Structure 1
Amino acid sequence: MSHRVIGQESLDAGSPSRSGATLDRLSSVIDWQPIEALLLPLYPSAKGEPAWPPLAMFRALLLAVWHDLSDVKLAEALEDRASFRRFCGFAVHEATPERTAFVRFRRALIAQSLDGRLFEAVTKQLKARAITVKTGTMVDATIIASASKDDDEGRWVKHQSRRAVHGFKAHVGADADTALVEAVSVTPANIHDGREGPAVLPDDPGEVFADSAYRGQHFAQAVRAKGGVARVAATGMWGRDEAETLARLAAWNAPIQRVRARVEKIFGTWKRSYGLRRMRWRGLARARAQVHLTATAYNLKRSLHLQPV
């Protein structure tokens, strides 16, 4: 299937707004050609109506994350907003995709497992451009409610005094210095954090900061195998003197909690700003795609704060 040719008319729409200027910066934060190359196999057939350019569609999905837009709202915004058109490569007066085009594109992404590969390709470039030298990794997980309690691939989980939630769990490994998300795994919500933790450990993770859910040899051995050192919060320590033991416990946990608290800001951004309070679609594969798109969009925005002005 051939691709439509877009952006042939003038893209000039006057002086960009503040949000438009941010999108212009995001357009140049990475080299998009390798991303486009990953997307080209999506429409291998030479027959049929010309498809929308895959890179334009992928960029549109990133816009949907940044602005918490449904497919319907995304289609409407692309019609009206010059900055959105410019970011995706559409000229001022040409047609833009309808809602169903985004549904088909996302389905194709999931069918070929490209959501994870795109996240890795974007993140690899951003990590290479980061100025800081890696010294540590934060590992944590967050529960995300399913789109429907009838989703057979979601699971119920109850955490301490909170109400039970039916959904999925996003496990994350993030750089302790830059707060860029380096690895993501999505599971049903009842999978224990420590069990899935090794799946989100990058190579040479440095010191690995995690809460008490990651206690145990399973996670500690995985950290050592990657060449890292586990820094896991403790819930208790042995000692004859209670005051002295509590002081040692606090001294051990304080630096760990100070670092790993940054991962909560990542989850907060995902849920408050990017609409990840609940999955938009049913099924584990779609949940995984939504988290990968969210993590990709987050990393791109985060990278703007890591570059010198």
Structure 2
Amino acid sequence: MKLAEALDDRASFRRFCGFAANEATPERTAFVRFRRLLVAHALDRTLFETVTMQLKAKAVTVKTGTLVDATIIAYASEDDVDARWVKHKGKRAVHGFKAHVGADADTALVEEVSITSANINDGKAGPDALPDNPGEVFADSAYRGNYFRDAVRVRTKGGIPRIVATGMWGRDEAETLRKLHEWNQPIHRVRGRIEKIFGTWKRCYGLRRMRWRGLAKAAVQVHLTAIAYNLKRTMNILSVSA
């Protein structure tokens, strides 16, 4: 396991994990047992929420909005009974899971995460990715419909849905297209920030594929990735404001 190797090799990792220079570090099997305990007691979400709450307190900002979106994460083995196939127009079919994410629109800190099979509709799972008091909620057209809109307005106590529209009614085509563009353009500009989060997860944190079998273990992998990302993101925010 790379973490065990890094603890033996890098002083920065040892300091972060609280090991003295001459102290023995756990073997690979210790981390495997730790992961199993996280799964068995469903503590990965609690760990994510606790760390994120502490980080948000450090990176103090005024809450103005929330980005909501989902990303598909493939699983190498097709015999995972919890994974599912999904096919989007113009793209190849993928077998795996989906991470539904709610992130702060200003700091890009991930606030909520929900993990499902890949075939679950974004709009149906989207409410589970909404934090409390989300402000304006920016989402793409997959979140159209009353189910998600009602969750934004009611469950989060007054959130404001800002969802990409695919069409508008109007008698004059040119005028209607202009209004559609005016509605969608500012949403696209803000909502696009969440794509950078997914890109960082997959490019820098190894989340292009799920490494562990089953939905519960997939949730652990995503939650641990979100924690690592939030730690790094908070360090960047604090370094800029210092």
Structure 2: how far apart are the matches of 1:303 and 1:236?
Answer: 38
1:262 aligns with 193
Question: Is 1:282 paired with 2:213?
Answer: yes
For residue 80 of structure 1, what is the amino acid of its counterpart? Answer: D
Selected match of 2:23 from 94, 97, 108: 94
TM-score (norm 2): 0.96
Question: Is 1:149 paired with 2:45?
Answer: no
5+ residue gaps, structure 1 = 1-70
Question: Is 1:293 paired with 2:224?
Answer: yes
2:114 aligns with 185
Aligned-residue CA RMSD in angstroms? 1.0
Structure 2: how far apart are the matches of 1:183 and 1:257?
Answer: 21
Question: Is 1:113 paired with 2:42?
Answer: yes
Question: Is 1:196 paired with 2:125?
Answer: yes
Selected match of 2:176 from 245, 248, 252: 245
Structure 2: how far apart are the matches of 1:81 and 1:207?
Answer: 42
Q: Deviations over 1:9-57 (max 9, x none)?
A: xxxxxxxxxxxxxxxxxxxxxxxxxxxxxxxxxxxxxxxxxxxxxxxxx
Greater fraction of residues in strand: 2
Structure 1: how far apart are the matches of 2:18 and 2:132?
Answer: 36
Q: Deviations over 1:105-158 (max 9, x none)?
A: 110111111110010001111222223200111100000001411111100000
1:66 aligns with none
5+ residue gaps, structure 2 = none
SS at match of 1:141: strand
Selected match of 2:166 from 210, 216, 235: 235
Question: Is 1:272 paired with 2:226?
Answer: no
Question: Is 1:223 paired with 2:149?
Answer: no
Structure 2: how far apart are the matches of 1:199 and 1:75?
Answer: 34
Runs of 4+ with deviation above 4 angstroms: none
Q: Is the 8 A contact 1:211 1:233 kept in 2?
A: yes
Q: Which moved more, 1:253-262 or 1:142-151?
A: 142-151
Matches within 5 A, 1:130-141: 130-141=59-70
Q: Which moved more, 1:249-258 or 1:146-155?
A: 146-155
Structure 1: how far apart are the matches of 2:28 and 2:76?
Answer: 19
Structure with greater Cα Rg: 1
Question: Is 1:84 paired with 2:13?
Answer: yes
Q: Deviations over 1:217-271 (max 9, x none)?
A: 0001001111101000001111122111111111000000100100000000000
Q: Deviations over 1:89-109 (max 9, x none)?
A: 222233211111111111011
> Structure 1 residue 74: deviation in Å?
2.1
Structure 2: how far apart are the matches of 1:95 and 1:285?
Answer: 31
Structure 2: how far apart are the matches of 1:153 and 1:185?
Answer: 15
Structure 1: how far apart are the matches of 2:183 and 2:219?
Answer: 35
Count of aligned positions: 238
Q: Is the 8 A contact 1:147 1:282 kept in 2?
A: no
